[in-house]
Amino acid sequence: MPSGIPEILDTLFLATSFLLGAAVGSFLNVCICRMPNNESVVRPRSRCPKCGNPIASYDNIPILSWLILGARCRYCREIISWQYPLVEGVTGLLFLAVYWKFGLSLATPVYMVLCASLVLVTFIDLTDWTIPNEVTYPGIPLGIGLSLVGMFWPASGLVVTDVLSALGGALLGGGILYALDKIALLVWKKPGMGFGDVKLLAMLGAFMGVIGVPIIIMIASVIGSIVGITMVVVQKRKGVENDAHYLPFGPYLALAGLVYLFFGQDLIALYTGLMRVPEATGVFPMQ
């Protein structure tokens, strides 16, 4: 939690961070619905996907409007998906967590944007099996560029302050998944990873550095394995056999990236402590 800030002011910043995140989450819902269809996320204004009626401003309050309306459209009374308040709530909590972690620093708005991008990627990949280039293509050079800022601004609070680490992370992240995809294609005659996953891990590598890439892959693989095994067990209990399910890997990478963002320093310290080796310096300088 940020230090040196009066408690009442700090509480106000925490509340503002959550409200800002929820509002951004409301916009992300529009992007999640429209971007896979190549529709504008600006025009027309928000409307009910069932009846097409524009949503009034008083019915577009993040989370609250969904609750007040009883999860139904005011006009056609069709059910409004739980995805809407979920995206708003998750984004709000992530923004709050970013402020809690990084305080009043350059890192806070940077990682708020990154968190919003990862929420967007997650839900689009879950619903449409694609990862938008509008996120990853600008995200890779942005992460590398911010590492340059961190080199000359020690108080920025950024995770990576070494441009070589950011550049190496982008190359390593994209290279590992690209190689795995080619190996899967050679061995099993089918793609192992989508190219969207390659670009997403390259972006995460640019923001988290070269050391972060293998840790992110490990965390994502563990989460994916747990989810996959759970699905198999549930299917067997329901009597479903040999029902193949392919799960998008992007959400696991995004979640792993968030874990590393908030707990990466602790994970590295834990690992170096267990291995009894000197801690890496200059690669993960946070606060």
Q: Name 67's Cβ contacts closer than 8 Å, sequence gap at least 6.
A: 85
Rounded to whole angstroms, what are the CA distances from 86 to 63, 78, 90, 255, 272?
8, 18, 6, 15, 37
Q: Using the predicted structure, report yes or no on whether residue 89 has a pLDDT greater than 80.
A: yes
Q: Name 233's Cβ contacts closer than 8 Å, sequence gap at least 6.
A: none
- CA–CA gap between residue 79 and residue 81 (Å, rounded): 6
Q: Using the predicted structure, report yes or no on whether residue 134 has a pLDDT greater than 90.
A: yes
* pLDDT number for residue 138: 96
* pLDDT number for residue 33: 93
Q: Name 145's Cβ contacts closer than 8 Å, sequence gap at least 6.
A: none
Q: Using the predicted structure, report yes or no on whether residue 271 has a pLDDT greater than 80.
A: no
Contact between 28 and 20 (Cβ < 8 Å): no
State mean pLDDT over 10-24.
96
Instruction: Out of 101-105, 130-134, 238-242, 272-276, pick the least confident.
Output: 238-242
Q: How many C-beta neighbours within 10 Å does residue 155 have?
A: 10
Handedness of CA 142, 145, 151, 156 (dihedral sign): negative
Q: Using the predicted structure, report yes or no on whether residue 195 has a pLDDT greater than 90.
A: no
* pLDDT number for residue 266: 87
128, with CB counted inside 10 A (0-12, 13-18, 19+), is middle
Q: Using the predicted structure, report yes or no on whether residue 164 has a pLDDT greater than 90.
A: yes
Across the chain, what does the average pLDDT equal?
88
Question: Predicted confidence band at 154 (pLDDT cuts at 50, 70, 90)?
Answer: confident
